[in-house]
Structure 1
Amino acid sequence: MGAMESKVINLRILVDKKRDRVVFAESDKDFVDILFSFLTLPLGTIVRLIRNQAPPSVLGCLNNLYKSLENLEVGLLQSEKHKAMLLRPSNSSEHLCRKLKFNIDDTEPTKYRCHHDSQDLYLIHENVIIEDDKSGGVFVNGKARFMISDDLKVMPLSTSTSVELLTKLGVKDVDVLEERIVKVGKVEVLSLLRLSLLSMKPLTDLFLLKNVDCSGASTSDSAGQFHSRYRIDKLRGCKRMTIKIMLRKSDGKVLSAEAQEDFIDYLLSLLAIPLGAAVKCLERSPSLGCITNLYTSVQELSADRHLKAEYIKAKLLSPMHVSQFGYKSQLLGTNENFIPNSKCLFGLLPSGDKVDLYGHQPFNPNPIGGKGFINGPATFVVTDDLSVTPLSPISNIFALNRLSVPISDLEERVVCIGGEEVLRLLEASLTSTSALTSAFNLYLDEAKMEK
């Protein structure tokens, strides 16, 4: 048994026996640190970690996007490294996550290159020095204790808050309550990651109703539900893209889209976006369920009393790509301009050694994806559920035939994609199994009305 598998966290939970549900849990730093680490994980990492769990888990349409990338021939991308790094995107907080009691992310640490005595040295991302106050904890103050509601709201311990939770859940008789101690290991953490994305009661589902099939529980196929919430000013002036969509006129369903490399670059870039960055871009959308509650909890906790430091709070609320993943058309503003600190780098070498830092650049001076990920010019077909394949008109015709769509019911539309559509598609990719229809249907309705 490995070291990680042998570690467990004893978690104290309060159970409503009458309704068979968890009211809340009490925890120290270890469990809450793990919960908050979910916000730092790139979406592609989350797909990879949860897709093989039982029961099978589906994260919106991202599973299909991830599988499509796996199946794309390397020649369609700028290089094999582009594909490998999108399938296993680095976490810009990896140096912190490695300190967790359970670090479920097995992605290789990011390396940086320097030159020493005519040879290249590769240094991992630990060059960021963390001033430890010796209180323990990774993201939270090691001396603080917390209560976690069933829907993953993390709060400081408080009797009044516990009474509020009991009242909210309609618990009037203390006799229906029972204290239990449950053990949390790596398997439970992976299950909790899955449930936090697919359920509004993940603690209950994990500890009381194990193996509940939550696949698709948080997904929605209702179209046009995202339009009114966004402030588009933060993406004003972003590069606009054009795609051709094939619409089923009878019900407005988007069957597929023809898109060039710029749109595919955007879709693939979603795999490298940290979960917390997606929540921030979508302004804490309720459609993201318990993950929005986690994010809001970080906002509301004191950086002085409950979290390790203000910069830790910022890393959780605005997690960034590692610098190698930036590309010039990144539309969501989540690139990290990380410059290694030379003193930190020196500290990893034998005393007195000097290092020439190639301009303080990552080991690849040109960020992976600096010119995009796809080796264009190229045209692709994207299905409603975000499966991506190279364009083949013959294959498309037979695909439409399998959908039993009469040719007379088809209509091609040209859609211009800017900041608003980019955000709608981000949310749809996380929450819907029909991402194109969900993201663009309202736009199409408006276009039809104008016409």
Structure 2
Amino acid sequence: MAKPEGPTIGVKLSVDKEKKKVLFAESNKEFVDVLFSFLTVLLDTIVRLLDKQSQLGCLDQLYKSVEDLNLEYFQTSACKAMLLKPLNAASGHCCRLKINVDGSVPRVVYVCKDTRCSALSDNAFSSFPGTICKCGKVMESIGQCPKYDGDTETAAATCSEDGVFVKGCLKFIVTDDLQVAPASTSLMMSVFEKFGVLDPAVLEQQVLQFSSEKITCLLKRLLTSKQPLTDHYFEAPVPQDDASLEALVQNLHPKQENEDQEMPGNLKIRVLLTKDNSALLYAEVGVDFVDSLFGLLSIPLGSAIKLYGQCSAKGCLGNVYMSIDGSVQVFVREECQSLLLDPKSLGFSGCSRCHDIPYKNSLRRYEAFCANTVKSIKLCEANPKEPNGGSEKGEVYCN
């Protein structure tokens, strides 16, 4: 068998071959870091990684709709780029993972190619290519992100023995449904008891090397299965998408005192139903509704779980989320807990109707002019959605 290209992460599985069941995996911090990083990945990135076969409801079709729309329907070309290739706000951490499936790279900034307009345009920069400067030119010159920006600073301060998200050099137990806990004999015995294993010697120990490709396959499994390790090891077929939403209905449609009451900010749509009202044929909607739909693509997986309790009714990513908030909380670096349990979209991305995105849209650039003099310049991020440039926080992708 050909060796996989690129780095791999070894994970030891305890397998009951007779029952065709993986009881648990023993792993180091590298594998757990990768599992935790899934919570920071945006929904549209998941769709792209899984080649529009994510089985996350209708998101695959929504992503394809963005791909198929001509640029003329977007405020700027940057708007389409933001939706199809979004930036992970946790890129400063994820780029240090041994295997980083979403391809996050350290943040770069784009500036106007006309150096003369720098002072005239509030020292503007953008995180997205194709953003329009106030002078009307496209920001396409790549500049280096300031060294001490946000999570890059945090990432640099990591203890050498720590992982990206977890502390120290601990060993972990990951159950078949992806509950994560520090390794211990008592935990292993409880798993044996749960699955009726009287003699652990009957179990086979198999070391599985996870490459980037296999990590991506595992990501799909954990979105579609309650036993992703077993299904991955025994190569079970991925179930077909039935778009089950029964577990999300009440969260998606909270009860109101008066369903007919018009609330500020409500969106109105006109729908065409069959004569017996048994099916909806199509809806006529405004730009604000389409914009809200597109904004859903930029929500991180962890935020979807926080909002709705889970991301997929069939998967078990929620167990990873609950482990961070429970059994392994004290072993997760403090500065990373909110990054994993309440991840945010990068500035100007996302949908304001879904969740608030507190965002600081400025950086500081430090330039040394001589051995004893350092000049500090405040940089202000331009809104990629603004066709005329500017830093006002707008939410509109489409015309």
1:9 and 1:347 mapped to 2: Cα distance? 40
Give the C-alpha shift of residue 348 in structure 1. 10
Give the C-alpha shift of residue 232 in structure 1. 7.0
1:347 and 1:11 mapped to 2: Cα distance? 46
**Shift in CA distance, 44/368, structure 1 to aligned 2, threshold 3 Å:** farther
Give the letter for the 1:111 counterpart.
V
**Shift in CA distance, 367/23, structure 1 to aligned 2, threshold 3 Å:** farther
Give the letter for the 1:18 counterpart.
E
Kindly report which structure 2 residues correspond to 1:364-403, keeping only aligned pairs within 5 A, or say none. Answer: 366=390, 370-375=394-399
Q: Alignment partner of 2:313: what SS?
A: helix
**Shift in CA distance, 226/148, structure 1 to aligned 2, threshold 3 Å:** same
Q: Does 1:141 align with 2:167?
A: yes
1:261 and 1:350 mapped to 2: Cα distance? 52
**Aligned residue in 2 for 1:296:** 322
Q: Does 1:354 align with 2:380?
A: no
8 Å Cα contact 1:90/1:109 also seen in 2: no
Q: Does 1:335 align with 2:361?
A: no
**Aligned residue in 1 for 2:340:** 316
**Shift in CA distance, 287/221, structure 1 to aligned 2, threshold 3 Å:** closer
**Aligned residue in 1 for 2:134:** none
8 Å Cα contact 1:88/1:107 also seen in 2: no
**Aligned residue in 1 for 2:130:** none
1:250 and 1:124 mapped to 2: Cα distance? 58
Q: Alignment partner of 1:5: what SS?
A: coil
The number of equivalent residue pairs is: 357
Give the letter for the 2:145 counterpart.
I
1:100 and 1:347 mapped to 2: Cα distance? 30
Q: Which runs of 5+ in 1 are unaligned?
A: 376-451
Give the letter for the 1:357 counterpart.
K
8 Å Cα contact 1:146/1:154 also seen in 2: yes
8 Å Cα contact 2:27/2:171 also seen in 1: yes
8 Å Cα contact 1:51/1:58 also seen in 2: no
**Shift in CA distance, 184/98, structure 1 to aligned 2, threshold 3 Å:** same
- CA offsets 1:83-142 (integer angstroms, 9 cap, x no match): 111111111101100000011112565434689986677233762201212223001113
**Aligned residue in 2 for 1:6:** 6
Give the C-alpha shift of residue 37 in structure 1. 0.5
**Shift in CA distance, 237/181, structure 1 to aligned 2, threshold 3 Å:** farther
TM-score by length of 2: 0.79
* Stretch deviating more after TM superposition (58-67 or 237-246): 237-246
1:9 and 1:262 mapped to 2: Cα distance? 44
TM-score by length of 1: 0.71
**Aligned residue in 2 for 1:102:** 99
8 Å Cα contact 2:298/2:350 also seen in 1: no
8 Å Cα contact 1:243/1:258 also seen in 2: yes
1:276 and 1:159 mapped to 2: Cα distance? 30
**Aligned residue in 1 for 2:48:** 48
8 Å Cα contact 1:230/1:283 also seen in 2: no
2:43 and 2:103 mapped to 1: Cα distance? 14
**Shift in CA distance, 225/37, structure 1 to aligned 2, threshold 3 Å:** closer
8 Å Cα contact 2:29/2:163 also seen in 1: yes
**Aligned residue in 1 for 2:131:** none
Q: Does 1:188 align with 2:185?
A: no
**Shift in CA distance, 285/209, structure 1 to aligned 2, threshold 3 Å:** closer
Give the C-alpha shift of residue 334 in structure 1. 4.0
**Shift in CA distance, 132/228, structure 1 to aligned 2, threshold 3 Å:** closer
Give the C-alpha shift of residue 204 in structure 1. 1.1
8 Å Cα contact 1:112/1:362 also seen in 2: no
**Aligned residue in 2 for 1:66:** 63
- CA offsets 1:194-246 (integer angstroms, 9 cap, x no match): 11111111111112225x233416x3276x9612787679xx97721011222
Give the letter for the 2:283 counterpart.
A
**Aligned residue in 1 for 2:19:** 19
1:35 and 1:275 mapped to 2: Cα distance? 12
**Shift in CA distance, 86/139, structure 1 to aligned 2, threshold 3 Å:** same
1:368 and 1:72 mapped to 2: Cα distance? 25
Give the letter for the 1:216 counterpart.
D
**Aligned residue in 1 for 2:332:** 307
2:46 and 2:285 mapped to 1: Cα distance? 26
Q: Alignment partner of 2:331: what SS?
A: coil
Kindly report which structure 2 residues correspond to 1:415-426, keeping only aligned pairs within 5 A, or say none. Answer: none
8 Å Cα contact 2:302/2:343 also seen in 1: yes
Give the letter for the 1:273 counterpart.
I
2:248 and 2:215 mapped to 1: Cα distance? 32
**Shift in CA distance, 257/9, structure 1 to aligned 2, threshold 3 Å:** same
8 Å Cα contact 2:367/2:374 also seen in 1: no
Which of 69, 72, 76 is the equivalent residue of 1:75?
72
Give the C-alpha shift of residue 248 in structure 1. 3.1
Give the C-alpha shift of residue 26 in structure 1. 0.7
Give the letter for the 2:398 counterpart.
I
Give the C-alpha shift of residue 278 in structure 1. 0.7
1:102 and 1:39 mapped to 2: Cα distance? 15
Query: Which structure carries more helix by proportion?
Result: 1
**Shift in CA distance, 51/288, structure 1 to aligned 2, threshold 3 Å:** same
* Stretch deviating more after TM superposition (247-256 or 39-48): 247-256
